[in-house]
Amino acid sequence: MKYIQKHIPAARTPEEWKGLSTSNLRKVVFEYIRKNYAFEKYINDDLKLPITISVKSSRKTAFGEAMYLQKAACAIILPELLKYAVYNNFGPKKDSDSDGVIGYLNFKCKCTIDGKPEVVRLAVQFQKGGKYYYNIEVNKKVCIT
């Protein structure tokens, strides 16, 4: 039976984050994820898969790619996003990945950010030692039913 997302997480961007430079927003997001969720394990409802948030993934989210307010707000609801996300597909490992990386499990999650419906793409790095949250993107032209 196909999994249907049971809950739509909602986040509000903290007012104090809205005026920050991109550089400072990256630092705040990194510290928020690291302090609140690093080393925690969350179970995804769709695959019943335990997913761990690491300091490395906190760094990847904050400093690895584009940073914008919707992505920053996702840091606040990251455990809910991991829990309720719908499995979408599997991506192969990258040439730059270490030998321990098997590939990437990609998920989609409907959510509300600052009152606006959004779709978030979550990447989970599948390694020989477990599954680790890797990165997040908001509204990159993705569809889920």
Question: For residue 144, what pLDDT band results from cuts at 50, 70 and 90?
Answer: very low
Nearest to 127 by CA among 88, 97, 89, 82: 97
**Average pLDDT of span 64-93:** 95
Question: For residue 140, what pLDDT band results from cuts at 50, 70 and 90?
Answer: low
Is 90 exceeded by the pLDDT of residue 48?
A: yes
Query: Is-contact 43 53, C-beta < 8 A?
Result: no
Q: What percent of the chain has pLDDT over 70?
A: 96
Q: Answer whether 0.75 is exceeded by the pTM.
A: yes
Strand, coil or helix: 22: helix
